[in-house]
Structure 1
Amino acid sequence: MSRVFSVSRSGYYDWLNRPPSARDIEDERLKVAIQAAHKRTRETYGARRLQKELADEGFDAGRDRIVRLRQELGLRCRQKRKFKATTDSNHTLPVAENLLGQEFTPIAPNQIWVTDITYVATLEGWLYLAGVKDVFL
């Protein structure tokens, strides 16, 4: 094999047993930091934003170096997509009757309650938040 690549056997074994360079060691430290930042930012930061994030942590690395290390790690950022409402108002399911007719003036507690529900995006997925309020208060 050394003849195919035109290198001496001693040169090949010297290269094979050579200790990692300071740059290789720093690249490994940077790879760990890149993976942590990539996960922490929900895989949305590209090289430029990741460079600033890493600089805040004390890592001095150029954008091209971060691009190269991300490619070696197989990391790609997710593209943000426009939120699309999925509520279907054209259906044949029963709809609750409007009992108040927009008249929100109760004369005592516990006569009119209002509710709402919303979705909150978290690192673990969507959470559903429901609120209930007595209009009298």
Structure 2
Amino acid sequence: MKKGSEHILQERQYKFKFIKKYRTEFTVEDMCGILKVSRSGFYSWLSRDDSPRTVVLKEDTIRIRKIYTESKARYGSHKIAAELKALGVVTSRNRVARIMKKESIKSIVNKKYKVQTTDSNHSNSISENHLNRAFNPIRPSEVWVSDITYIPTDQGWLYLTTVIDLFDRKVIG
């Protein structure tokens, strides 16, 4: 089938779906006239069974929704595709992503926790800069520097502080 005729068929599908949705409010005859489709075409479309491709698409959508719900809305297309493959369903991650987008299924994304180490909005006095970027002391124990880092663990955050002698770059504590 050529690209142009595929587009025409898709457009006709949309029109028929519209007529089906609003046939209780407007007459089928009027809507078919306005949308320039035949009534017999609409009734023929209405009585047709779904194509095999549409049936598979609906089944895949149901499976994706089930896995998504069971994961408490946390799984994205990668994990859902992996789950489907584990169930023996032949699919790709792109197909899963396409279906999820069409069905407005979005996974919950937790942003990484960003540690805020400095509160600059305070009235406390600010310490003077004694080092003044002189990072090359001439004797040991003349200049010590310190830093702190945060390490996430299963029990919560751990804090690691180190003190380094800038003369020989060794950790003092």
TM-score normalized by the length of structure 2? 0.42
Q: Tell which deviates more after alignment, 63-72 or 47-56.
A: 63-72
Match of 1:29 among 36, 48, 59: 59
Q: Count residues with an aligned counterpart.
A: 87
Match of 1:15 among 28, 32, 45: 45
Structure 1 match to 2:11: none
Structure 2 match to 1:74: 104
Q: C-alpha separation between the residues in 1 aligned to 2:73 and 2:81?
A: 14
Cα deviation, 1:83-124, whole Å, max 9, x if unaligned, reads: 579xxxxxxxxxxxxxxxxxxxxxxxxxxxxxxxx79xxxxx
User: Is 1:63 aligned to 2:89, yes or no?
Assistant: no
Greater helix content: 2
In the alignment, residue 59 of structure 1 is paired with which amino acid?
A: V
Cα deviation, 1:2-40, whole Å, max 9, x if unaligned, reads: 222222211111112211111221122212211221123
Which 4+ stretches in 1 moved above 6 angstroms? none
Cα deviation, 1:36-88, whole Å, max 9, x if unaligned, reads: 21123332222122212211111112333322322343321010233579xxx
In the alignment, residue 73 of structure 2 is paired with which amino acid?
A: E
User: Is 1:2 aligned to 2:32, yes or no?
Assistant: yes
Q: C-alpha separation between the residues in 2 aligned to 1:84 and 1:38?
A: 27
In the alignment, residue 68 of structure 2 is paired with which amino acid?
A: H
RMSD over equivalenced CA pairs, Å: 2.4
Structure 2 match to 1:110: none
Q: C-alpha separation between the residues in 2 aligned to 1:64 and 1:6?
A: 35
Where structure 2 has 5 or more consecutive residues not aligned to the other structure, the ranges are 1-30, 116-154, 157-173
Structure 2 match to 1:131: none
Where structure 1 has 5 or more consecutive residues not aligned to the other structure, the ranges are 86-117, 120-137
Match of 2:84 among 33, 48, 54: 54
**Residues 62 and 42 of structure 1: CA distance in aligned 2, closer, same or farther (over 3 Å):** same
Q: C-alpha separation between the residues in 2 aligned to 1:9 and 1:41?
A: 45
Q: C-alpha separation between the residues in 2 aligned to 1:36 and 1:84?
A: 33
Confirm or deny: 8 A CA contact 1:55 1:61 kept in the other structure.
yes
